């Protein structure tokens, strides 16, 4: 998104105040195609959907969270790239800081780039095109998901996130309601909040 990787991420945060990763951590170069979905109870509750693209996590804020129902379209606002190490972050962002609130690792795993398999488009090219198709192998979410860029609002890209029709689609599952706990700690967002 920006010329210097993570420039916007670093600019928005005061690392004296927040325990979020600085983005200067050593990168594990063996890790490829990781994804993470973080439930973020900030000024308004949303889910941050993040896909590894090279050394960063391309990110979208999804107010209603991902669905397993292929007829549901979920608004996904593109946000600044995050460091790969952010995928392990769970805890609190202090009051007054950017994104203040509680973060829970709702799902994670690896993904396959379906456009690469079909047409040789890598993730960078897919982002540029405004169409990303991935196959998730998460603990909660599996199967194909598509992200389509719809336009821009005040400079922020507006995308839609949708489950593809495949054998992992399930209109009745509603995992954001029925499976609220962290895949890292097994805690709910209320439990994480109470401990801080
Ligand atoms: Mn967020």
The HSE-up count of residue 173 (CA atoms within 13 Å, CB side) is 18
pLDDT single digits (tens) 22-71: 988 887 777 789 999 999 999 999 999 999 999 899 999 999 999 999 99
Distance 147 CA to ligand 1 centre (A): 18
Question: What average pLDDT does the structure give for the chain?
Answer: 94
pLDDT single digits (tens) 145-187: 999 999 988 889 999 999 999 999 999 999 999 999 999 999 9
Q: Are 103 and 91 in contact (CB under 8 A)?
A: yes
Q: Which of 75, 70, 69, 67 is nearest to 179 (CA)?
A: 67
Distance 70 CA to ligand 1 centre (A): 24
Distance 188 CA to ligand 1 centre (A): 17
Distance 171 CA to ligand 1 centre (A): 26
pLDDT value at 2 more than 90: no
Domain boundaries, the chain: 7-195
Distance 119 CA to ligand 1 centre (A): 32
């Amino acid at each position: 998104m920006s010329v210097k990787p993570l420039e916007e991420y670093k600019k928005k945060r005061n690392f004296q105040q927040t325990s979020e990763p600085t983005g200067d951590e050593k990168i594990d170069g063996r890790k490829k195609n990781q994804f993470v979905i973080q439930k973020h109870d900030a000024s308004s509750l949303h889910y941050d959907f993040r896909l590894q693209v090279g050394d960063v996590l391309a990110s979208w804020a999804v107010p209603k969270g991902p669905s397993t129902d292929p007829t549901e379209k979920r608004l996904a606002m593109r946000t600044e790239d995050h460091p790969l190490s952010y995928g392990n972050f769970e805890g609190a962002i202090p009051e007054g800081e950017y994104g203040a609130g509680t973060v829970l690792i709702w799902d994670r795993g690896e993904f396959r780039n379906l456009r690469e398999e079909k047409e040789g488009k890598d993730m960078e090219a897919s982002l540029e095109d405004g169409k990303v198709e991935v196959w998730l192998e998460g603990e909660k979410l599996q199967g194909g998901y598509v992200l389509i860029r719809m336009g821009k609002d005040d400079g922020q890209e507006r995308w839609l996130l949708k489950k593809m029709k495949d054998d992992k689609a399930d209109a009745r599952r509603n995992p954001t309601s029925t499976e609220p706990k962290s895949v890292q700690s097994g805690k709910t967002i209320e439990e994480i909040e109470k401990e801080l």
